[in-house]
Structure 1
Amino acid sequence: MMKSRPWALRAAGLAAALGLTLTAAALPTAASPHIAASAPALKVPGTVSAPAAKNDPSLADLPGGKTVVGQTSPIHDPALIIDDDGTWYVYSTGLVNRENGGTIQAWSSHDQGTTWEYSGTVWDRIPAWIDEHFADGELPGNLWAPEITEHNGTYYLYYSASRFGGNTSLTALATNTTLDPTHPDYEWVDRGLVVSSPATGLDPDNPGKTFNAIDAGIIEDADGTPYMAIGSFWYGIFLVPIEWPSGKPVAGWQSQTVNIADRFMPGNPIEAPYITRHGGYYYLFVSFDSCCRGADSTYKVAVGRSTSVKGPYLDKDGRDMFGGGGSVVLDSHGAVTGPGGQSVFGDYLAFHYYDGSNQDIPYVPTLGLQKIDWVDGWPAFDQTVELPQVSKQPKARAAGSTASVAATATGTPGPVAVWETSSDGGANWQKAGRQPVTKRTDEGTYTSTLELPAAAPGQPAVLVRAVFQNAHGKAVTDAVVLPAANHGSTGKGQPNP
């Protein structure tokens, strides 16, 4: 009952391919299940989008894939939460080999989940008590598979530590009163062990039944009673009763724990449970099969539902997930390989996938987002593959001292434009300092308009272009010359360098 073999990535190779300068937050050297680490602590100019206008229908997400840009890879096992101030946060598995401390990584978005920036690590190092727990053998190289939830003004961050390939594992807890790293009260307080495995006393009829204590997901039932879904391979997925405010299991939890999903097949490849409520049902999302193998990953997202948080969870065909059921709702498509390791917040599913469109680092683990389409009581996901295609080449205009450049593209998921400028005739391109929001038109196309200072008299010609991208690829527009101030003319299109 071994987990899949690790997905590997060398730090130097990634840095060189992406043209990055490593800082104190080093890139990963390798990754294993729940080990695909996070991006370096660097600032990428021009990836912060302008604030989105409220109640603008062209900015509202439709059900389906949501294109994300900025620092979105490598991210593994994303835990999504949207804070009350509108900031989106993702927490993900730490760097392997204890690079940058090996602790849980954080990412944030201030434009409704489109543009992402790396925010740092929860701690500088793995807590010493975890090393003591594993002192009889190999120490964990990093912390895995976070879960983030809020209760009564406190944020609860669950995370796992394990030895690869077995179920000598634990899930632990940290708490905070804010998610904003700039807040003076920001501090993740170590609350220690939640559960560990192998566990005993789960089934009086089967003393050997146990779970692998990773991949926690928290759910409250309709009465507000909290539970923790947990498990990976072995005997599958379990539901453990917990209590507030400790966030830890109730007394005598072993006898109250329910085995809610088991595929009853060799290896039992099921993990990453996440339960969410919608309508009158609880929905159990899981990942089937093998992650962490790059292009060979077979991960996929499956689901069942129940009127009780304790199950039984039945799929669309009425099959019990404790017995092999589970309707696959998100699988590999286009450049998206092996989607899984999911979490749910509201109507959004966050997951990682192995990105076949990344030419620099093929199949790097990448953040994926989908807005769930609830169809006949079931979650549905758009797996349409339509590469970005430019439908209207850029047009540049000047009004006084300001120039604007607009372009339009199509694609599914809807593409996002990242604007670039060049002052050396197109030999080198830099991201524009402030990126505009890409808006959906009534015709189903996507338009972006960049505003920037017009060219000054005698200034060398500046070229401007847009790179429209989605999960499956990108399309680069023609370049246009930035018009001079007060001319009000349109720049003449020039071919890409």
Structure 2
Amino acid sequence: MIAANRRGLLKGALSLSAVSLLPRAAAGAADAGAAPDTLNAHLSGYLTGLHDPVMIREGDTYHVFGSGGWAGAPGPSWRISKDLKVWTDNKQPFGIPGWAHEAIPDATSVWAPDISFVDGLYRMYYSVSTGGSMRSVTGFATTPTLDRNSPHYKWTDHGLVVETHPGIGYNAIDSNFVRDADGQDWLEFGSYWGGLKLIKLDRKTGKRVPGDTRMWSLAYRPAPEGADNPIEGGFIFRHGDYYYLFASYDYCCRKLASNYFVACGRSKSITGPYVDKEGKPMMEGAAKTVLIERPWGGTRWRGPGHCGLFHDKDRDIIVYHAYDAEHDAAPTLRLAELRWDADGWPVALS
């Protein structure tokens, strides 16, 4: 998800179920009517100009990457922090690779990066496309370190992983790398059309095994004939005995009219089927809401969506973007701690 022309409720206030998950002191403050202490409450610095964020930590530095195209830089946006509070610009890791520009000549930026630490290297999957098009490519690049001051810092591009063409029925953007509990590597991706897909990767190459054309369908947004079916920005996160598939629904990139939101389902198999709390399948549009603006158009932070998940020490964090109604609807970095309720479903302390 990127560019202005692209194509169950969690209340704006903290719900009672979320309050029950807070530490005792914070819960007491919430009961007293005070605003809960959240990660979002402490954010400052370079927060705006961000779509589609993902997060990772190397040593004592947190890194957030997002879609490019801001401030004239076509490569992924990159910002860093030592404390999850104050964020600074770290420029772009690379621009549009030559092979991707040749495949998509009209592309102006790299979309929706996904960052992981894989077998001793930081690996970033990324996509290149144009607004509303099914002609898309996804590739990946690696570096031994994210520290620009290290002599070992160097991004190496590994080229194409998956591509789509008009009429194929699904779209190769918004990729997410996952290594399952058995050590098998996968790539989840997809936006609109046929929904979210999953393919198997070769652990050595980071690409598909030659000749392996198998593909699993994970989530879909049914829509009336001829209408949009907005679902994108998938992210698979393992917690306990389950794989959780987070996805973004409805519309981003419409400034204050954005009604994007995040919901999820879960499965004991990475290939699905993913279901909501009532056991209804995500392939039929069901999902448990995680981040949403309520009432619609009535809060400062509009259209929270396109999330990444990160396990940091003893807690889980969800990173996402939202549009700031107090600052010209700027797409802005947002963070929330995730807690897990008694039934194993995520609650965002946003």
TM range (shorter): 0.7 to 0.9
1:110 partnered with 2:55: no
Q: C-alpha separation between the residues in 1 aligned to 2:207 and 2:40?
A: 34
Give the counterpart letter for 1:366 in structure 2.
Answer: T
Look up the SS of the partner of 1:130 in the other structure. Answer: helix
Alignment partner of 1:70 out of 45, 49, 62: 45
Give the counterpart letter for 1:119 in structure 2.
Answer: N
Q: Residues 252-263 of structure 1: matches in 2 within 5 Å? A: 252-254=211-213, 256-263=214-221
Look up the SS of the partner of 2:91 in the other structure. Answer: strand
- The answer for the alignment partner of 1:132 in structure 2 is 102
1:87 partnered with 2:61: yes
Q: C-alpha separation between the residues in 2 aligned to 1:63 and 1:210?
A: 44
**Using CA pairs below 8 Å that are at least 6 residues apart, which structure has the higher relative contact order?**
2
Q: String of CA shifts for 1:344-373, please: whole Å, max 9, x gaps.
A: 011110000001132xxx210000101101
Alignment partner of 1:353 out of 318, 322, 336: 322
Q: C-alpha separation between the residues in 2 aligned to 1:310 and 1:262?
A: 14
Q: Is the 8 A contact 2:104 2:128 kept in 1?
A: no
Look up the SS of the partner of 2:100 in the other structure. Answer: helix
- Which entry has the higher C-alpha Rg, 1 or 2? 1
Q: C-alpha separation between the residues in 2 aligned to 1:247 and 1:222?
A: 17
Q: Is the 8 A contact 2:258 2:303 kept in 1?
A: yes
Q: Residues 4-23 of structure 1: matches in 2 within 5 Å? A: 6-7=3-4
Q: C-alpha separation between the residues in 2 aligned to 1:370 and 1:33?
A: 26
Q: C-alpha separation between the residues in 2 aligned to 1:239 and 1:177?
A: 27
Give the counterpart letter for 1:121 in structure 2.
Answer: Q
Q: How many residues align?
A: 312
Q: C-alpha separation between the residues in 1 aligned to 2:126 and 2:263?
A: 22
Q: String of CA shifts for 1:442-483, please: whole Å, max 9, x gaps.
A: xxxxxxxxxxxxxxxxxxxxxxxxxxxxxxxxxxxxxxxxxx
Q: Is the 8 A contact 1:218 1:228 kept in 2?
A: yes
TM-score by length of 2: 0.84
TM-score by length of 1: 0.60
1:332 partnered with 2:293: yes
Q: C-alpha separation between the residues in 1 aligned to 2:195 and 2:168?
A: 10
Cα shift at 1:382: 3.2
Give the counterpart letter for 1:70 in structure 2.
Answer: G
Q: C-alpha separation between the residues in 1 aligned to 2:178 and 2:235?
A: 8
Look up the SS of the partner of 1:99 in the other structure. Answer: coil
Q: Is the 8 A contact 2:50 2:66 kept in 1?
A: yes
Cα shift at 1:134: 2.5
Q: C-alpha separation between the residues in 1 aligned to 2:284 and 2:240?
A: 25
Q: C-alpha separation between the residues in 2 aligned to 1:191 and 1:209?
A: 24
Cα shift at 1:33: 4.3
- The answer for the alignment partner of 1:215 in structure 2 is 174
Look up the SS of the partner of 2:107 in the other structure. Answer: coil
Cα pair distance change 1:64/1:245, threshold 3 Å? farther
Look up the SS of the partner of 2:49 in the other structure. Answer: coil
Q: C-alpha separation between the residues in 2 aligned to 1:231 and 1:329?
A: 20
Cα shift at 1:165: 0.9
Cα shift at 1:65: 4.5
Kindly report the root-mean-square deviation, in angstroms, between the aligned alpha carbons of the 2 structures: 2.3
Unaligned stretches of 5+ residues in structure 1: 8-31, 35-56, 200-207, 384-497
Cα pair distance change 1:243/1:64, threshold 3 Å? farther
Q: Residues 147-186 of structure 1: matches in 2 within 5 Å? A: 147-186=114-153
Give the counterpart letter for 2:109 in structure 1.
Answer: N
Q: Is the 8 A contact 2:267 2:275 kept in 1?
A: yes
Unaligned stretches of 5+ residues in structure 2: 8-23, 26-35
Cα shift at 1:116: 0.5
Cα shift at 1:187: 1.1
